[in-house]
Amino acid sequence: MPGMLFLKAQSNAHPSLRLGILETDSWLENVSDGELRPATQFPVQDRWQLRWRSIWSKATKPLLLMHGATFTPGDYLAQVETLSTLHPGTYDVLLYYGGWRPTTAPLGLNLNSWSTEELRQLRALHARPFIGLETFDRIAIRLMVERLAAAGYSKKDPLFIRIAAEPANTAYGSETGLPGGKRHTARAHQAYKQRFANASEWIRQNAHRRHLNVKIVFAGDSLADFRDYAPPAYAFDFVGVDLYVTPANERQKFGLLSDVSDRWPDKALVLAELGIATTGKNAGPSWARTALAEVLRKISRHPAGCAQLTVFSVDVASRLTSRRWGWAWTPAMYQMLAEWQQTPYAWQADGFHRYDLSTYPVGRDVLYHQSGSLRVYYRRLRTTTQNGEPLFCETLFRLSHHRWIVAQRQVAWTGNKFVTIDQLPLGSIDPEAPALL
């Protein structure tokens, strides 16, 4: 699974709610016509070259992410620095640790690919690793904790460690904890619980010696994970759900959220991975907004709150031919999440929402988008429209040479696209002049 960036957010969902974002792909909205277009963040190597390389490689499986979109420690550091400039906050990077050595080319997903100096740079950016632990080896766990301590992390830096996630469908859940071992037996269930409890204890012992503040997460993605493999409650701090919602499984996944909430009302939720299908059979941006709203409603009702939520925004369907779904989030979905984050317990899917133009009140200018050099406002002209009558008045401010260039148009909204009815450039004005600003 690719690496993830986390933004610490102030919220009443949980005293230390962390909003995480993995965004290698997204949907971009064109402000001139309202059209949504998929956009890839990381470059993808030519697939023919990858196939040719794999033929001649001695490795049985090339260590390539999504057919060539690679993530290095340098990529993470650059992205954290960019995000901290645009949105000041505390960021984390999800790294996996199985005790295995770094590859020839540094792989950002592998904690061992990070040098101590690079981890120090991460901490200097007010960022922290979120560890996906993939080993039960006692020595490897000690070395992991020592590496984190050497990077300068301390009790002031809460560090999430997710131990051997999704055991029902992985080798972690076998009787031996290794590939090839028997799975889905009473002995396998008990063996996993004991290995998890041991690993949790070793992490806590070593963290105490090194003055680290660790939070242990048990995470699954199916009812079998939580019904058969759940370790003793004392062995973990937060209960995690790796949640990928599609039109085909939405009822099942919503039921899973309710079941987890009923089983552990006293443990805060961690949505370690949250994907909502925006492409695929019966999926699309409109469906995804509705599905996301239901997810947010359900986690808002959890008695112990939500401690962490990670947005998984990757269009894997276009990169991996075996995948039916794409998970890249739209701007409207990010707006919905930001709105929920402010008041998660009071958030309602019904009513006014900035990301949903259909909810705008008549006759009021509403800020739809704002960045350093662009601001877009919409004023609803009437409740309904027929035969192409203008439904919205759009006012667009672009900053150019320290002056705002202003344009206004009347548009009809078709559900996924703006249709211009009338356009009138207003010229340039001083930054302080427009009342809308």
pLDDT in tens, 173-183: 999 998 888 99
pLDDT in tens, 331-369: 888 888 888 888 888 888 888 888 888 889 999 999 888
- Angle of helix 73-86 relative to helix 116-124, nearest 10 degrees, comes to 10
Q: Which of 130, 133, 151, 129 is nearest to 141 (CA)?
A: 133
Q: Is the pLDDT of residue 302 over 60?
A: yes
pLDDT band at 81 (very low <50, low <70, confident <90, very high): confident
**In this structure, what are the phi and psi dihedrals at residue 311, rounded to the nearest 5 degrees?**
-80, 120
Across residues 265-275, what is the average pLDDT? 92
pLDDT in tens, 96-113: 898 766 666 777 778 988
Q: Is the pLDDT of residue 295 over 50?
A: yes
Phi-psi bin for 184: left (phi > 0), alpha (psi -120 to 50), beta? Answer: left
Put simply, whether the predicted model's pTM sits higher than 0.85 gets the answer no
Cα separation, 42 vs 289, whole angstroms: 25
User: Exposure of 229 by Cβ count < 10 A (0-12 exposed, 13-18 middle, 19+ buried)?
Assistant: buried
- Angle of helix 250-263 relative to helix 285-300, nearest 10 degrees, comes to 10
Across residues 420-428, what is the average pLDDT? 62
Q: Sheet containing 418-429: which strands, arranged edge to edge? A: 365-370, 374-380, 392-400, 403-413, 418-429
Mean pLDDT across the chain, nearest whole number? 81
Residues 259, 390 contacting (CB under 8 angstroms): no
Strands 374-380 and 392-400: antiparallel
**In this structure, what are the phi and psi dihedrals at residue 158, rounded to the nearest 5 degrees?**
-60, 130
Cα separation, 39 vs 24, whole angstroms: 9
What the block records as the tokens of 384 is 């309904």
End-to-end CA, the chain: 42
Cα separation, 344 vs 337, whole angstroms: 9
Specify the 3-state DSSP secondary structure of 380.
strand
Residues 157, 149 contacting (CB under 8 angstroms): no
Q: At 193, which helix (H) or strand (E)?
A: helix 186-209
Q: Which of 52, 46, 67, 57 is nearest to 322 (CA)?
A: 67
**At a CB cut-off of 8 Å and minimum separation 6, what does 275 contact?**
243, 244, 245, 312, 313, 314, 325, 327
pLDDT band at 166 (very low <50, low <70, confident <90, very high): very high
pLDDT of the residue at 265: 95
Tokens 């806590």, residue located: 204
* Out of 156-160, 242-246, 356-360, least confident range: 356-360
